[in-house]
Structure 1
C-alpha cells in the first residue's frame, strides 16, 4: 500500500526542501535508535499478497475498481494494474498456531474477494506473472485509477527521459519497449514482514540477503512473459528493467538502479537509509508538515514521513521499514523476493522457510555474512531467478552446489530450529517445512509445473498461446484445492 497523493501538487522547490527533510528525518532516526523505546518485545510478522484477475477465457480482467467497490474491505487495495489487487493480511505472531491463523484468514479473505470477482465475470489467480499478458495489456491506460500510481509513473518516466527497454534472455528471448511503468504490473509478489529489534536489524537484513537466492530458486513461479519462456522467475528481471530510470550513459557512470539488491553487508539500519538519501533523487517529493525533531524533543514519536516515502521509492529486494503502531516506533525487514502462488499453503510454506531460516542465521555465533562474499549472494540471486529449482548456488564450505542439496542438507534444518525459536506449533512447522522438503525432493515448484504443462500442450499440437491459456485454466482449478504444487498432477 502507498500514500494517497490525490490533490497533491509538486512545486519546483519541493525537491530541495524534501532532500533537507529526508536528512533531518535520518538524523532524528539515528538519535531515536540510541535513546528511544522501540517496540521489540515480540517478533510480529506480516504478509502482503498481490493477486491477478482473469476472465473465463484466462485473459487479464481489468476490473479491480469494480470489485473493490463491491467488496468494501480495507484489507484489499488496488495494485499498479487494473488486473491487480493486494491483500494485506492482519499482522500476527507466528508462535503457537499463528500460521494456521494466517491460513484461515487468507483463505477467508480470498473467498470473499472471489465472490465479488465472480459478479464481475472474473476470478482471482495467485501467480508470479500472469502468463496470458501481452504488450497491449501493459499500457498506461490500464494503470489503476489511483493518483499515486499516475504520479509515480510521471516521475519515473520523467527521470528516464526515454522509453523503457526490456531485454530478457532466457530459454527464449524477449526484447520490448514501453513508454510507461505499466509492465511492472506483471510482477505479482508476496512480501514477508518481520519486526526486529533495532540492535538486531543488521543481522536480520544480512541474513535475508544471504538467502534471497535460495528463496527465489525454491519458490520460482514466473516462467512466462508475453508468450516467451524466459527465466524460472522472470519477475525479477522484469521488475529490475521495467522501472529503471537510468539511461545507458548513467549505467556506465555507475549510477545505482532503483530496483536494487544492494552492494554490501550492513552494520545498522541507518546504512540503508543513508544510501537512499545519498544515491537516489526524490521521485515523489511530498512535504510533511511535521517537524520530526520538535516532536521527538516534546516526548512524541515522529512519523518521519519524508524518510518513509523516499524509502518506498527505492525498491530493494529486502527493504528496511520504519513505522509507528499504537504510539510506539518499530523496525521491520520487508522481504520482497517471493512470487505469489501457486497456493495459499505454498505461500505459507515459503514464509515459514524464510522466517525460520533468518531467525536461526541471524542468531548464529559466526554469521553467514562473515564467510559469504556479498557478490556471491547477489550472483546467487540472479542465478536462482534464471534456473529456479535447477540452480546451483555458492555457499561457504560447500562451493557451488545444487540448491536442492543446499536446502535439504543445510538450510532446512536451520529453518526447523528457527521456527522452534519462534515457538511455532511443531505440527504446523512440520507441515509447512514438509512442503519445502517435498519440492526439493521432487524437483518440482510452480515454474516447473507451468513449463511442463505448456510443453505438453504444445506436444499435443496446441499453439504456444493456446497452451498458455489451457495451462492457466488448469492452474487455477488446482490452486483452488490448496494442495502444494509439488503434488499437482502433471498430465
Structure 2
C-alpha cells in the first residue's frame, strides 16, 4: 500500500502547497530523464504476494498484528484489512536460477509464517478474494492499525462525497453499499516488478497493457464475493468500484477513475506521471522538506517524495515506479493484474509467463501495440476478468480467438524466447511455462476449479459450501501441485 503516513488533518492550503510541490517534483523528474544516469546495468525483477488469514473454520481471522509479531520477518508487512498481510520477496536477476529461487524462497517464507501463525489460530491462504468474507468484515472496525489506511479511507470517502456502491453483475448479482474502502482489502494480488531503463520503459509498459487480458484468462482466481458467484476475476470490478472517488455526475462528465487501465499507448514513462498529476487531485497531501531541484543540482538523487506518494494513490493495473537503490534512481513496471495463488508453483509459473512474454514483445522490431488499438486491449482485459479460462480476446492478424488457443499457439513460444533473453535456462523455463500450457489444454484455472468445487457440495448453505471448498483449496495449496492437476 505504500509508505506509512501519520494520522492528520489536511487544510485547503495544504492541498495547494502539495500540488505545487508535486509539479516541482514532476519538472525535476523530467529533467532527470534527460540528464541523470538511471540504474540499468543489471535489471532485476521482483515479486510481492498479498495473503489472507483464516481461522480453523475458514472464516477471516482478524489477527494480522499478532501474526506479524509472531513471524518476526521484515519481508512480511501489514495490509489494509486485519485479515491481510503482504510478503515482499527480495528482488534479483532471472538469470542463474532466478525463477527456481523465487519458488524456494516463497515456499520457505510461507511455511515459516504458517508455523508461527497457526498457534494463534490463523492460517495463510493465497487466493484473490477470500470467499468466506461476510458483510461485517468490510466495516471500518476491520481496517488495520496503520494510520495510513484509515486516512486513505477517509480521504477517498470525502472526495467522493457519498458512500460507495458496489454493484457487480456476473453469474449472480451483488449490490451493496459501504462507507469505507474496506472492499479493497478483499482484493489480494500478486505483483510482478520489472526494472527497465527510461528508453525501454514505454515498450515494457505497452507490452504489459497488451497482455493484461491474457494474464487474467489463464490465472483468474476470485470467483466469489460475499457469498455470490460473480466474475472469474471479481477483483477487477471490485477494486475499480471500491476506490472510486467519483460520484455519478463526475462519471458522466468523463472524469478519470483512480483505478485505471489507462486510455492510450505511451511513448515515455513521463507520460504516466504527467497524467497522474494532471488528472488526479491529491488524496494524501503530505509535504516533505526536501527541495528536489537543490538536491539534483548538488549532484544528488532526489527522493521526489510527493510525486511518489501521489503516484501510489492512483491504482493503474500496470503502475510506473520511481525508486532509489544504492543512491541511483531506477524505474520499474509494477504488474498488478493477477490474484495471489493458488499455489507457489502456479504463482511462479504466472511470473515466468509474464516476465518472458513482456520481454519478447518489448524487444520485438514490430511492436504489438502498433497493430492493435488501446481500446481492444482494455476490452480484452475486462472480457477475460469476466470469463476467465473461457474468454475470447482480440489479437492482431487473428481477430477473435480463444485466449487458451492464443497462448498455446502464439504466446508460449514468445515467452520461451523472452526467458532465454533474460538468461533463464531452457529446462527451468519449461518447468514453469509447461504449467501455463497444461492449464490451457485442460481448460481450467483456479477460479474454474473453485467454482466446480463449490457446486460439488450440492444443495447446502452457500457459506458452508465455500468453507468446505476453501478447506480443500488450502490443503492443495500446501501440497504445491499445480492447479491443472487438481481433481
Shorter-normalised TM range: over 0.9
Cα separation, 2, equivalents of 1:239 and 1:216: 15
> Does 1:473 pair with 2:471?
yes
1:67 Cα deviation from its structure 2 partner: 0.8
Other-structure match for 2:152? 152
Cα separation, 1, equivalents of 2:160 and 2:134: 23
SS in 2 for 1:96: coil
SS in 1 for 2:323: strand
Aligned pairs for 1:355-370 (under 5 A) are: 355-370=355-370
Q: After superposition, give the CA deviation of every residue in 1:108-160 in whole Å (9 maximum; x if it has no partner).
A: 11111111210111110000000000111111100000011011011001001
> Does 1:429 pair with 2:422?
no
SS in 2 for 1:174: strand
Cα separation, 1, equivalents of 2:397 and 2:2: 42
Q: TM-score, normalised by structure 1?
A: 0.98
Other-structure match for 2:283? 283
SS in 1 for 2:162: coil
1:194 Cα deviation from its structure 2 partner: 0.4
Cα separation, 2, equivalents of 1:439 and 1:243: 32
Other-structure match for 2:482? 484
Other-structure match for 1:415? 415
Other-structure match for 2:138? 138
> Does 1:326 pair with 2:295?
no
Other-structure match for 1:30? 30
Other-structure match for 2:244? 244
2:70 and 2:117 in contact (8 A); partners too: no
Cα separation, 2, equivalents of 1:359 and 1:101: 20
Cα separation, 2, equivalents of 1:481 and 1:293: 53
Other-structure match for 1:464? 462
Other-structure match for 1:65? 65
1:309 Cα deviation from its structure 2 partner: 0.3
Other-structure match for 1:373? 373
Other-structure match for 1:109? 109
1:254 Cα deviation from its structure 2 partner: 0.4
> Does 1:449 pair with 2:449?
yes
1:267 Cα deviation from its structure 2 partner: 0.3
Q: TM-score, normalised by structure 2?
A: 0.99
Cα separation, 1, equivalents of 2:471 and 2:372: 42
Aligned pairs for 1:226-265 (under 5 A) are: 226-265=226-265
Aligned pairs for 1:341-352 (under 5 A) are: 341-352=341-352
Other-structure match for 1:198? 198
Other-structure match for 1:162? 162
> Does 1:125 pair with 2:142?
no
SS in 2 for 1:457: coil
SS in 2 for 1:22: helix
Other-structure match for 1:96? 96
> Does 1:49 pair with 2:44?
no
Cα separation, 1, equivalents of 2:245 and 2:4: 23
1:423 Cα deviation from its structure 2 partner: 0.5
1:391 Cα deviation from its structure 2 partner: 0.2
Gaps of 5+ in 1: none
Cα separation, 2, equivalents of 1:406 and 1:96: 29
Q: CA RMSD in A?
A: 0.8
Q: After TM superposition, where is structure 1 displaced by more than 2 Å over at least 4 residues in a row?
A: 6-12
> Does 1:406 pair with 2:409?
no
Q: After superposition, give the CA deviation of every residue in 1:270-307 in whole Å (9 maximum; x if it has no partner).
A: 00001000100000000011100000000000000010
SS in 2 for 1:13: helix
Cα separation, 2, equivalents of 1:42 and 1:253: 45
Cα separation, 2, equivalents of 1:434 and 1:96: 19
Cα separation, 2, equivalents of 1:70 and 1:356: 37
> Does 1:394 pair with 2:411?
no
2:163 and 2:178 in contact (8 A); partners too: yes
Other-structure match for 1:207? 207
1:405 Cα deviation from its structure 2 partner: 0.6
1:337 Cα deviation from its structure 2 partner: 0.4
Cα separation, 1, equivalents of 2:309 and 2:6: 15
1:9 Cα deviation from its structure 2 partner: 4.6
Cα separation, 2, equivalents of 1:462 and 1:173: 19
Gaps of 5+ in 2: none
1:14 Cα deviation from its structure 2 partner: 1.2
1:464 Cα deviation from its structure 2 partner: 1.6
SS in 2 for 1:19: helix
